[in-house]
Structure 1
């Protein structure tokens, strides 16, 4: 029942912008709308710079926690499948359904066998929409995490099994060409162990003009969670495009760990990242 109530609330919240934006839809600029569509032409562009989003990513990083510094590798595999889209005749309102999922892995580069430290999984059902120059996404997701067997044997660490389902609503806009901003709240519907339910995510991403000989990008993502007393988890990236959807850049991060098993540990990350998103 909690899951059903949560989905109903999310769909209701998603419908709110219709009343606000619909009267302005006739004035919507198709160029502005292109900034909030993905490469497939569906509404709501994936915030590829957010560590919460399932994308393909390989990163070699230095991770600092207190006085400890480790070399780690992130190997993420994730994608999405859009299975339905509906547009009104004048193209000012559109709805689309999709699913996405990913595996987020962390490896120890300092050990002799580069053992798996932690892996977590995220799968979500998405309802995406665009109302004129504003896009929205409601995601009903499941997330679970596990420690690597070799890491447990080497360190004697106790596994902390985390699993939760939640609902997140994000709004997105493109106030100027090349710039996309997004943000919105999240709420947990079930969690093991019990976690504080409320969270907030926001961010911005910039890309140089498509016609430029070299394409550059920059992004910053914020995630705050009541469970962690709203300590900000910040991820930033600066780099260049290698081809359609593929990019390389300098990755920075600080705040609570992006590894689920270590979410109560603060860390600083810096290194190189290669990612791909459709």
Structure 2
């Protein structure tokens, strides 16, 4: 366990060092990357796209019937991109492009995507999210299914199937004046359930229900996510029947709280985040209030040559006052498939490791350690 914690800490330091020292991608790099994204994701071959000072410009007649908002969203996620423009052609420029062929210059007149196409759509029920999901957070609302093998007996069984159902839904988004910043408000909710695969009927052990109202902001690579939330924890009927007469003590766990997370995305796919929160209503009343959370993620800007997938590495750390500020480590690594999408979500296959106090509400006092593998759908 000591070696695993040391290895995790070393990995974090290496990634942080890479983030601090990484140079901003140059225009030629962005041009080649953008051309690859368009070709492999949308089957668009646009060698005449240009990049100048981090701004990608596309000829309007090269997009055909493709959803322009989706093109803007994909290209805006590329490290180092400051803006995406779709414009009409006028004359030839001396700027970086996706091929060695001379290309035409684009007019300053943008063509009907948005006043500032680098920004996400605004209004009611807009597409996209200003704050990207936390990939290694065991309680970030999304759709997933995982198998986990516990290394000790502090949970109900060693072989556990864990599933989650949830979503972050932006209700309203607006630009901040004429700047590149945006804000949104919305709802986030999820259900997280554990099943004991060793029990006769694969008993439901525990389900946590989380519902929240959130607000987030984004300005280029900086984003923030704050919420007011409710969480309650419930044991499964089969589990309670099986434990009847035993020494297991059920806890009526329910609380409301508020938290805030800040995030910054560095070049080459590195992201650092941190924050914390507290409870303002809790049961049992003896629960301590404060917690802190921080982590690092690496979404590779490069795809694997033989397949449309990109590597992912993420580590999430939490410290709870209730657990004397001990560190709970959640680490995940794997690949994201860019050609396997459902309702805009990308499929991720990730191996995972956890060491700390259980995230499953009824077992929050129990120290657990597990390894597993899971499928996750994220935007």
Which range, TM-score by smaller chain? 0.7 to 0.9
CA distance in 2, matches of 1:103, 1:71: 20
Deviates more, 1:146-155 or 1:212-221: 212-221
Q: Does 1:190 align with 2:278?
A: no
Deviates more, 1:66-75 or 1:245-254: 66-75
What is the SS of the residue equivalent to 2:372?
A: strand
- Report the equivalent of 2:310: 215
- Report the equivalent of 2:265: 174
Deviations 1:141-181 (A, max 9, x none): 00000111111111223321100000001000012231121
Deviates more, 1:220-229 or 1:241-250: 241-250
**The structure with more strand, counted as a fraction of residues:** 1
CA distance in 1, matches of 2:260, 2:197: 36
* Change in CA separation of 1:227 and 1:28 when aligned onto 2, cut-off 3 Å: farther
Q: Does 1:253 align with 2:354?
A: yes
Higher relative contact order (CA 8 A, sep 6+): 1
Aligned-pair CA distance for 1:234: 1.0
CA distance in 2, matches of 1:33, 1:166: 36
Q: Does 1:148 align with 2:240?
A: no
- Report the equivalent of 2:215: 127
Deviations 1:18-46 (A, max 9, x none): xxxxxxxxx99965588xx9994431111
Aligned-pair CA distance for 1:214: 2.4
CA distance in 2, matches of 1:217, 1:91: 31
- Report the equivalent of 1:5: none
What is the SS of the residue equivalent to 1:177?
A: helix
- Report the equivalent of 1:202: 294
**Where do residues 41-56 of structure 1 align in structure 2 (5 Å cutoff)?**
41-56=128-143
TM-score normalised according to structure 2 size = 0.62
- Report the equivalent of 1:64: 151
CA distance in 2, matches of 1:28, 1:138: 30
